[in-house]
Amino acid sequence: MTDAPPAGAGAGDPAPAPSSADPVPAAARIELDRIARRWSELPLTRAEPAAPLVRELVDEVAARTAPGVDVPDLGAAALVDQLAVVVWDAYAAGRAQGLTEQLTDLRRALP
């Protein structure tokens, strides 16, 4: 036998747990999505020459939250996922000044 939930339990929209709230603002999230979509559309022969641009931003953003820690090189296929992680970390730590603009610049620079 199970106990009935207290009156009012489950009413209304659930509040997100603090750990599940996305610290990345909508404008930056849109840019990340656009970068990921564009990256997934690039043939390998065009993605490889553009990889240093993405890698440079990954390293720069990672240094904001973990100075001196190298982001492992997991190859071009994982690069945009690594970017999403370090961007999330930077926003969560409050160290993302100018990052949305950097993401926009990166997207515009992709072939």
Domain that holds residue 52: 24-109
Residue 79 lies in a domain: yes
Residue 4 lies in a domain: no
Please check the confidence at residue 110 and state whether its pLDDT lies above 90: yes
pLDDT at 44: 87
How confident is the model over 8-44, as pLDDT tens digits? Answer: 544 555 545 556 689 999 999 999 999 999 999 999 8
End-to-end Cα spacing for the chain: 62
> What is the number of domains present in the chain?
1
4 Cβ partners below 8 Å, 6+ apart? none
3-state class (DSSP) for residue 43? coil
Residue 102 lies in a domain: yes
Higher pLDDT among residues 20 and 92, named by residue: 92
The CA distances from residue 26 to 8, 30, 33, 102, 105, in Å, are 32, 6, 10, 15, 16
Please check the confidence at residue 1 and state whether its pLDDT lies above 80: no
> Considering the chain, what is the average pLDDT of its residues?
88
Residue 67 lies in a domain: yes
